[in-house]
A and B are shown apart, each in its own frame.
Chain A
Amino acid sequence: MSGYSLAIHGGAGTILKSKMTPEKEAAYREGLSTALEAGEAVLRKGGSAMDAVEAAVCALEDEPLFNSGRGAVYTSAGAQEMDACVMDGRDRSAGAVAGIFGPKNPIRLARAVMERTPHVLLIGPRALELAQEAGLEFGDRDYFFDQKRWDALQKTMQMRESGEEDDDPARRHG
């Protein structure tokens, strides 16, 4: 067999070069490098692809620059709802959660769904109970709060109230 491979993403969209300062770009690159290294460290030691993608995504979820985990955006109601999924190419087993808030790393809960239940996708209170059963770490609203995400919500809501046209496809990105 040949060697390992790993690829990660931290989202896509209208990333205006005019608004990208050298400091911001350096921070994004650092965040990506940290996540890639977290996943590659697993593969370098002979670990599994599943462990590697979990490690990489956890690092991205811990970095507020990216829209997941600690950097999750807000709904129109001012709440945060997170979705996550894992899939294992060996047997097409999969686990997912949707609309949850609490676990610091939703991707770990998605994996718990795959490994601890006969189901694929869980939502609601039972998903959070599973997170507790699996011993996953929880965060509160202060842990997940991010000023720039909150400000983005206010700006978007103001645009809607004023009827301002918005054809930026990036606003529809997850």
Chain B
Amino acid sequence: TVGAVARDRDGNLAAATSTGGMTAKMPGRIGDTPIPGAGTFADNATCAVSATGHGEVFIRYTAGAEIAARMRHLGETLEQAARHVVMEDLAPNDGSGGLVAVDSEGNITLPFNCEGMYRSSVREGSDPETAIYAE
């Protein structure tokens, strides 16, 4: 699975996710990627999210929408909300994987609960950062 989230100079957010599914999956099986609110989510008031992982669990926990809900209703930061969903909601429930997310201020977070996640990010005026393992 691959994905991207962005905030442009006008403050607009967007998310995109694309996948081939999982190796030897049952034909017709659909994961979280094409389900808005699960693997892909964007709302200018909160955040944009693109996820990768055990799709069925990301769907059950509506991962992307849950992060936005925690920000909106609990007043959590993007970092707090995303970390909670990845580490406290998904991880204990067989939801291995991770996500990339950006908020309306341009803050970025890239949490994952497995061994690694291919990821890269940049903010205007800063150098790009690329990583694979926890670093």
State the A residues within 8 Å of B (CB).
1-17, 20, 25, 28-29, 32-33, 35-37, 39-40, 43-44, 46-50, 52-54, 56-57, 60-61, 66-69, 71-77, 79-90, 92, 94, 96-99, 105-107, 110, 120-121, 149, 152-153, 156-157, 160, 169-174
Chain A hits for B112, CB < 8 A: 12
Cα distance A35–B2 when bound, in Å?
Answer: 10
B67 within 8 A of A: no
Quote the shortest CB–CB distance from B35 to chain A (angstroms): 7
B25 contact set on A, CB distance < 8 A: 73, 75-76, 81
Residues of A within 8 A of B130 (CB): 29, 32-33, 36
Cα–Cα, bound, A66→B19 (Å): 9
Pairs across A and B, CB under 8 Å, 18 listed: A6-B5, A8-B121, A14-B114, A35-B2, A43-B8, A52-B6, A53-B4, A66-B2, A74-B24, A76-B25, A76-B26, A80-B20, A82-B21, A88-B14, A89-B12, A99-B28, A99-B30, A174-B20
| Chain A residues positioned under 8 Å from B27 (CB to CB) | 75-77, 79, 81
Task: Give, as a whole number of angstroms, the nearest-CB distance from B128 to chain A.
Answer: 6
Question: Chain A residues near B23 (CB, 8 Å)?
Answer: 73-74, 149, 152-153, 156, 171
Q: A9-B119, A99-B30 are in contact. Are A157 and B24 (CB under 8 A)?
A: yes
Residue picked from B4, B31, B117, B125, most chain A C-beta under 10 Å: B4
A4 to B7, CA, bound (A): 5
Contacts of A94 in B (CB 8 A): 36, 40, 42
The one of A4, A44, A57 in contact with B2, judged by C-beta atoms closer than 8 angstroms, is A57
Contact A110 B34 (CB under 8 A): yes
Q: Which residues of B contact A (CB under 8 A)?
A: 1-36, 39-44, 48, 50, 52-56, 94, 96-102, 105-108, 110, 112, 114-125, 128, 130, 132-133
Contact of A32 among B11, B19, B22, B119 (CB under 8 A): B119
Please classify the interface of chain A as helix (H, G, I), strand (E, B), loop, or mixed, using the class held by over half of its residues.
Answer: mixed
Contact (A11, B100) CB under 8 Å given A36-B130, A68-B20, A121-B34: no
Partner of A52, one of B8, B22, B97: B8
> When the two chains form their complex, are residues B98 and A49 in contact, meaning their CB atoms are under 8 A apart?
no
With A and B bound together, what is the CA distance between A95 and B33 in angstroms?
11
